[in-house]
Amino acid sequence: MVRASPQASRLADASVLVVGVGALGCAAADALATAGLGRLSLVDPDRVERSNLHRQLLHCHADLGRHKVESAAERLHARHPTLALTAAAVRFDAANAAALVRDQACVIDATDGIATKFLINDLAVALGTPLVHGGIVRFQGQLLTILPGASACYRCLFGAPPEDGSVPSCQEAGVLGSLAGTIGTLQAAEAIRLVTGTGALLTDRLLTYDALAGRWRHVRLRRNPSCPACARITSPVAVRAGNR
Amino acid sequence: MPVQVRIPTPLRKFTGGAESVPASGTTVAAIVQDVESRHPGLKERICDDAGKIRRFVNVYVNGEDIRFLGSLDTPVKEGDEISIVPAIAGGTSVHAGA
């Protein structure tokens, strides 16, 4: 728990949306709640399956068949009874994005699937809401924070989704469970820095983690001046000193 | 000292599990071709049928995106480090198998 301080107050007053309550989302949600976040919203249409249990730590055997947002909210509430929770068992999409993102300090992308990651990027950027992107597969993790109109977005980085099936999901390729905990917790740390206004964010740089080699790397990113998602943003999210 | 090419874990099946492989050449295109000659199949994962870098793969020379340098014509010299960074999809799901 963060001790009483202006930063703790800002965190207690803030709301964060976690899209996807699987391996990344469970780690991120629990870390945010533990840090003292005031309001947490969870979105995921999926139900708990047996194969989820050894990595998705907010679900257990008794939850099999339940919506993930329900089991995760129940476990979070048991551990953090003062946390205000909202759970929506729906798929985040263009039709519901504005309502789900309203009043959120940031969105955490904890989804599985490359097309979904582009969709979340585009919607968060269009709505002017900061986004913390995380991706994992096998032994590789990636992390990036996006301040719409002020820093490079996911589409600046990768342009367009590949054809279906050419980038495997965790479900297809597998993932090291502890890697999900590592990247999900780091997503929470990004959201906490963003909400509290402390430290420097992972903007305009992609953090990669190679869990086989135990190696962290950064590569520099630049905004694409013709990016279809963010090039036309006229009211960029304010960038704090130290972020660039 | 040749150029070192950092291979992301999803592509290490082409390099026998090697995290980094040496390569020779004076441009990124030449490096990619040299790597392909030693590790067949890797180029197809980096370049499309027209020979251009795929949209969901980024290539960096010493941490700089080659799209902002000279793309495949970006010059490289001995001691440089080339990193291949593909988009990775996962987040929620699970199965071991890696």
Domain boundaries, chain B: 3-86
Chain B interface, mutation test: which of A42, A69, A137, most B Cβ atoms within 10 Å?
A: A137
Q: Is the dihedral of CA B25, B28, B34, B39 positive or negative?
A: positive
Closest-CA distance of chain B to residue A32, Å = 17
pLDDT in tens, A81-97: 999 999 999 999 999 99
Q: Whole-angstrom Cα distance, residue B25 to residue A108? A: 41
ipTM for the whole complex:
0.79
Q: Domain of A12: which CATH number?
A: 3.40.50.720
Q: In this model, does residue B93 exceed pLDDT 50?
A: no
Query: Can you give the pTM of this predicted structure?
Result: 0.88
Which of these, A19, A18, A21, lies nearest to A47 by C-alpha position? A21
**Which fold does the domain B3-86 belong to in CATH?**
Ubiquitin-like (UB roll) (3.10.20)
Residue A235 domain flag: no
- Vertex A45 angle, CA A60 and B10, to 5°: 80
Residue A165: its pLDDT value, please?
A: 55
Torsion angle, CA of A163/A165/A168/A169, rounded to 10 degrees?
100
Q: How many structural domains does chain A have?
A: 1
Which of these, B74, B79, B81, B82, lies nearest to B26 by C-alpha position? B74
Residues in chain A closer than 8 A to B8 (CB atoms): 140, 208, 210
Instruction: For residue A55, give the chain B residue with the closest CA.
Output: B94
User: Please, are residues A15 and A85 in contact by the beta-carbon 8 Å criterion?
Assistant: no
pLDDT band at B96 (very low <50, low <70, confident <90, very high): very low
